[in-house]
Every structure is written in C-alpha cells, then in structure tokens.
Amino acid sequence: MLEGLEELLISADLGVETSLRVAANIAEGRFGRRVSADELRALLAAEVARILEPVARPLPIYPKRPQVVLVVGVNGSGKTTTIGKLASQLKAAGKSVVIAAGDTFRAAAVEQLAIWGERAGVPVMKAEQGSDPAALAHDALARAQAEGADMLLIDTAGRLQNKGDLMEELAKIVRVLRKRDPDAPHNTVLVLDATTGQNALNQVEVFQKVADVTGLVMTKLDGTAKGGVLVALADRFGLPIHAVGVGEAIDDLSPFDPDEFARALTGAERVG
C-alpha cells in the first residue's frame, strides 16, 4: 500500500524526495493497520496542507511608496497576465499603481500588458521595441516617485535558456533601480506555470541566483496540471506562495488556500 502511495504522489508531480517523505510521515505509527481509502486521502490531505501552510502568504504591502515589485519568469509562464490581474486587485484595494512593460523585446508582451492596464485602469509605461529594459525601469520608478504612486509593477523578459543574458539584464535592472531607491525592488515575484511540473524546481533555483526571489505565483492551475509540484516547491525552498492563477479573467488570481489545494490534489472531502 505504501509503495502504491509513493507512486501515486510521484505521478501527482510531488517529485521523488517529497513523495517518499510524505508517504513515510503518513506511514509512521500505522504499520500493520488497515487504512481505508477515504482515511488515507484525509491523512494525505492533512500532510500536504501541513507542508503548504507556512508558505501561503499574500504579497506583503509595505508603507514604502512606491513599493517596487519586479516580476520574473520564463516566457509563457503567465507573467504579463499575472501583472494585469495583480494591478487590478491592487487598484480595487485603493492603491495607485504604475506598470512598466519591461519585456521590451517582445512586442506582443507589451501590447498584452497595455490591454490589461486599460482593463485595470492603470497606466502602462512602454519603450521602443528592443530598447534597454533597465532604462525603462529607471524612468518608470522616477515617474512613480513623482506621481506619489503606491505600487510599481515591472514586467521583465523571460529567457531561462540563455542564463548569461538573463542574469546580466536582471542584475542591471536591479542596479539601476537601486540608484533611485537603495531598497528596490521590495519584492521579486517569480511566476511559474503549473503545467511545467518538476521543471519548476529548476526555474526557482536559477531565478533565486539571478534575482533573489522573495515569493511565487503559480499559474494555469485550472488546466491539466496536477499542481503537486507546489508541494515540492514548498518542501524544498519554503518561499511564500502569494497567489494562484485559475483562469484568464481579470479576477482569476486567487489567494493560495493550502486546505482547499490539499483537498483538490488528493480528492479528500476533509483535511485530516
């Protein structure tokens, strides 16, 4: 039964290490006992929720104005959409927001961000295609400071394959921001696509080194993704999970609820 449980967890994308640990924790003190399928699901949900509980934390809002949020991730992870949704939520909460379209190499990303900005009623700063993203970030921070904005959300180009370029570009953006505000960026949020499975662990490792990530947003949990990689991420890195994307609409960015997630992942009716 234990082997079956381990296989089930691995197939749900928890990864080998986390799966073995979760199975061992559930088995502890229960050897030789009959455990029903429902009981097992409830135990499993409780163990998953226990791992996730400490990391379920919304994006912290500081009294510092403007609070600079640098958003990073690979192409296609949902960065642009996440920024649009986040801007909309912050605006609804009474914050004044400026968005900087820092992915200056992809015209489509800039256009998409402009549409999201319009929907959210938030200004989007753009630059010529191919121009220096660090210069745009600098100008956007200057504007946010001059206007007394509460939040500045900065999109960045996502290119994990070419780590050297990505590293230098992100490092330069951070350097330039710190010339205007020594504490910026105040948050560095990594957006991960749930459908990439265990590859998400590798992405966190790379972006941790490059950009000193402070929190995660997981997108596309509404699709085919099992989402178990979230448990592996929490187990290995312990980074806050600020929100999860569950659809394409502007309000489809939800706070991360460990109990609800654990139930959905395990098919349990209750947690513990």
18 is in an annotated binding site: no
Instruction: Report residue 237 as tokens.
Output: 């890195």
131 is in an annotated binding site: no
**What is the C-alpha separation between 23 and 5, in angstroms, rounded?**
7
91 is in an annotated binding site: no
119 is in an annotated binding site: no
158 is in an annotated binding site: yes
75 is in an annotated binding site: yes
102 is in an annotated binding site: no
73 is in an annotated binding site: yes
Contact criterion met (CB below 8 Å) for 127 and 135 = yes
**What is the C-alpha separation between 10 and 180, in angstroms, rounded?**
46
Between strands 151-155 and 97-100, the pairing is: parallel
80 is in an annotated binding site: yes
Contact criterion met (CB below 8 Å) for 120 and 253 = no
**What is the C-alpha separation between 121 and 141, in angstroms, rounded?**
19
Nearest Cα to 239, choosing from 249, 230, 247, 227? 230
257 is in an annotated binding site: no
25 is in an annotated binding site: no
**What is the C-alpha separation between 188 and 242, in angstroms, rounded?**
11
219 is in an annotated binding site: yes
221 is in an annotated binding site: yes
Give Cα separations from 17 to 126, 205, 214, 232 (angstroms). Answer: 44, 16, 23, 8
Q: Which residues are annotated as a binding site for GTP?
A: 73-80, 155-159, 219-222
Q: Which residues are annotated as a binding site?
A: 73-80, 155-159, 219-222
